[in-house]
Structure formats: structure tokens, C-alpha cells
Amino acid sequence: MSTLEGRVEALEANLGQKIADYDEALDTIWMLLAASLVFFMHSGFSMLETGCVRHKNTQNILAKNLIVVTVGFLCWYIIGYPLAFGAPTASEPTRFAGANNFAMDGFWDAPSSFRNWLFQGAFCATGATIVSGSMAERTQLKGFITYTTLMTSFIYPIVIWWGWSGNGIFNYTDDNGVSTSMTGTPLMDFAGSGLVHLVGGIGALCGAIIVGPRFGRWEADKEAEFEGHSIPLCVLGTFFLWFGWYGFNPGSTLSMHTAEAANLAGLVAVNTTLAPCVAGLLVFFLRAKVCPPRLLDVGGFCNGILAGLVSITAGCGFVKSWEALIIGFIGGFVYQGASMLLRKLKVDDVVDAFPVHGACGVWGLLALGFFGNPDETGGNGAFYGGDQISIQIFAVFMIVMWVTPLSIAIMLPLRLLGALRHSDEFQEAGADLMEHSPPKAYSQQTASPSKETAM
């Protein structure tokens, strides 16, 4: 009898191990797929930003997108990930930043860290890519590389520690094992409206202001000269980004071995579809019928879609689908209002990075202060008697107060030292001619003057 019991126990142990191995494999496959989709978003950013610039700066903006990914991942490897997720070794971890796993030290003791590193690293590079578009066509490469390095090494990782490490000021576990924050209720930001997009959006706004407008940008008789050179690239880039968002948002379940996680991913994917639909249509309508020049604006349609995606990114796992429609609808108004305000203030944001990622990132965080039923979707919105709004406002405040002064402290000295902005003559000739080989991006492109003539 004892022999039989021993065999049963051995079989149970073996079965338990196989189930654990299966769950681990399923989670890894899910995370690698999601990470691949998020990584693919960089092709969308590249196409969108390329379509928004003039053809004479095509190679330059593509080079910056490649630099963001290559420099960003190396910084994430050395210091970014340790500050964002470095496992605490002390009994009382700091609420400010992580301090472990530098250059993947200790990963072999917890191999699941590899998949998390890749997934979160793709997010990190996204934050810096947002900045590249706003400062396009007049920013020196060395200045941009400097900012990208510091953004992916320090600025972005600290914010991630605050919100997603489980030990930061926005979300940590108290002595009673209850999730809390500095204001009491833990932050809700499912996939990063605030922690990712707002960080990039604030950096983009600071960059656009400090580097200054493109030469001649606000002269009335030169308005048409600054139109992007390829609407098809803008549309394709938008679809690529939207496709990648199905890794960005559903992948933020971080697992896929239970029915609960699978169902949550389904809800997230649906909300990630509905919100951009209504936001894009709203902006398209507003620009066709309400906002001058009252014509069909395909580029505005694209940015409206992206505005809806950013708006729902925080709440995609906490709200019902009809709430996602409302959040996307309001997000469309937020984007259009912010875009018009920047033009009124003569802030030259080439791709409307701040209206899309900054303004809608704020709205995405604040929306969870109102929407989300605690009994059905795990939300904590005021419309259901919840008290989520205080931590959402606090998070917006802290992110803005963290990213703004640091971005200014980096970019302003670069501008004063002549390492950030290209000269007017350089801008007139175009970066492709002045510092790239070959000197034009398209074989059928009209021949450019020689570099000597431009200078």
C-alpha cells in the first residue's frame, strides 16, 4: 500500500511540474509574441514620421528612428532595466528607483526575466521615438543621441519603477500585504497612457519648444512648403502602429496560462479596436466640417486614430467596451484641441507628438478616475463610487514635474552650446544632402544642389 501511495505522490509531483512548465512556456510564447508586435511598432513610427517630413530629410528621420532602437536597447540593458525593475535586495526597497540586475546580472537565477526585459525594453524605446518626431527636420544628431541616451537610461526607467515595479510611489505593497500608493489608492495604468506615452509626450513638447520652429515655419507665404511629403507613408505607418498596439495593450496582461488572463486579453483587444475608431472618425469630421480649412484631412484622421489608442491604453483592461467608446470620443476632442493650441502658440511639433501622446496620455490616466466598475472590470471610477481620481491626478503631476525639468536641463545647454539645432542654411538644404550618403532618399527625387552650393 505504501508503495502505491508513493507512486501516486510521484505522479502528482510529476504532473504538477509538467503543468508549471507548460504555464511557463505558454507565458513566454505570449510575451515574445507581444514583444515582437511592440518592436514592430517602430516600423510604424518610422513610416509615419517619414511621411510627415519633407523628402529632403527622409534619411535623417529614419536614422533617428534606428538610433532610438539601437541606443535605447543598449541603455536599457546596462542601466535602464535595473532602475525600472531591478529586484530589491533590501528589506525596505527605495520608492524612487530600482538598484539591481545591472547588465542582466542575476537573470539566470530567474530566467523569466529575459522575456520581461525584451517586452519592457520595446516600451522604453517607444518613449524616445515619440520625441524624435516632434523635433524633426532641424535637430542635430549628436544632440538627439544625447537626449535619447538619458531618456532611456534614467528619465523613463524611474517613472516605470514608480508605477509598474510594485515598489514605487504609485503602487507598492504595505506591511499588511495590501496594494497602496502615496495617496492611498494604487495607480491604474494598464499599458502606459501615462507611464509611457505621457513621458514621451512631455519630452516631445520640451524638445519642440527648446529647439525652436523650423526655419520659415510660421511665415504665412511658406505654409505649404512644410507639408509632409507622403500621405501614403503616414497611413501605412498608422496601420502598422495600430497593429503593433495589439502587442502593446493585450501583451500587458504579462501572462496567458489561465482563462482569466485570456479573457482579459480579449477585452483589452476589443477596447483597443473601438476607441481609435471613434476618435479617428471624430477628428476627420471636425477637420472636414468645423475646423478651418474645412477639408478632408487624412493626416488628421491618422492622428485621431493614434489619439484614441493612447487614450484607451491606460484603461483598456479596466473598462467595458461602451466606456472605451466614450474615452476614445473624448480623446478625439482632446487631441484636436491640443493640436490647435500648439499652432496658436506657434510651437512646431512636426508630427503632433504632444497632442497625441502627451495630451491624450493625460486624458487616458484621468479617464480611469471616472470610468471602470469595481465589481465587473476591476476599475475604481467615480461614476461607480470609486476614489481612483486622486492617484491618477498625482501621477500626472509627478510625471510632468519629473520629465519637464530634466528634459530642459538636457536640451537647453545643448541648444546654447550649438549642439541641438541646425543652422538655417543647413535646414534649407536638407539633412539628407548635408550629412547623408547617398544625398537623397528616392532614386526619382529631383536632383538637389551640391553641398558646396548649399553652404
| DSSP characters over 124-177 | HHHHHHHHHHHTTTSB-HHHHHHHHHHIIIIIHHHHHHHHHSSEETTEEE-TTS
Query: Mean of the pLDDT values across residues 268-294?
Result: 96
| Rounded distance between C-alpha atoms, residue 193 and residue 180, angstroms | 20
User: Which spans in 212-251 are helix H?
Assistant: 231-248
**Which position has the higher pLDDT, 71 or 445?**
71
User: Which spans in 290-384 are helix H?
Assistant: 298-313, 321-344, 353, 360-367
Cell of 80: 535602464
Cell of 133: 518626431
| Rounded distance between C-alpha atoms, residue 309 and residue 283, angstroms | 13
Inter-residue contact 303 to 355 (CB < 8 Å): yes
**Left, alpha or beta for 351 (phi > 0: left; psi -120 to 50: alpha)?**
alpha
Inter-residue contact 120 to 98 (CB < 8 Å): no
**How many angstroms separate the first and last alpha carbons of the chain?**
94
Cell of 16: 504538477
| Rounded distance between C-alpha atoms, residue 46 and residue 234, angstroms | 9
CA distances from 255 to 242, 262, 265, 318 (A): 21, 8, 9, 17
Please give the model's pTM, rounded to 2 decimal places. 0.93
Helix (H) or strand (E) holding 179: strand 179-180
Q: For 206-221, how does the pLDDT look when each residue is reduced to its tens digit (9 = 90+)? A: 999 999 999 999 988 8
| Rounded distance between C-alpha atoms, residue 184 and residue 304, angstroms | 34
Question: How distant is the alpha carbon of residue 405 from its chain centre?
Answer: 20
**Beta bridge partner(s), residue 173:** 179
Q: Which distant-in-sequence residues (6+ apart) come within 8 Å of 57 by Cβ?
A: 136, 137, 430, 431, 432
**Left, alpha or beta for 187 (phi > 0: left; psi -120 to 50: alpha)?**
beta
Inter-residue contact 248 to 191 (CB < 8 Å): yes
Q: For 305-315, how does the pLDDT look when each residue is reduced to its tens digit (9 = 90+)? A: 999 999 999 99
pLDDT value at 92 more than 80: no
3-class state of residue 192 by DSSP: coil
pLDDT value at 447 more than 60: no
* Nearest-5° Cα angle at 96, 91 to 205: 160
**Which pLDDT does position 220 carry in this prediction?**
83
* pLDDT band per the 50, 70, 90 thresholds, residue 396: very high
Cell of 286: 471636425
The residue written with cell numbers 495590501 in the block is 178
* Nearest-5° Cα angle at 166, 107 to 325: 115
**Which pLDDT does position 406 carry in this prediction?**
97
pLDDT value at 448 more than 80: no
* pLDDT band per the 50, 70, 90 thresholds, residue 180: confident
* pLDDT band per the 50, 70, 90 thresholds, residue 450: low
Query: Mean of the pLDDT values across residues 143-153?
Result: 96
pLDDT value at 454 more than 80: no
Candidates 66, 86, 74, 69; CA nearest to 35 is 69
**Which pLDDT does position 2 carry in this prediction?**
73
**Which pLDDT does position 446 carry in this prediction?**
62
Candidates 440, 450, 448, 445; CA nearest to 60 is 440
pLDDT value at 90 more than 70: no
Helix (H) or strand (E) holding 180: strand 179-180
Helices and strands in the chain, H and E counts: 17, 3
**Which pLDDT does position 10 carry in this prediction?**
78
3-state helix, strand, coil in the chain (%, to 5): 70, 0, 30
**Which position has the higher pLDDT, 439 or 363?**
363
Maximum C-alpha span of the chain: 96
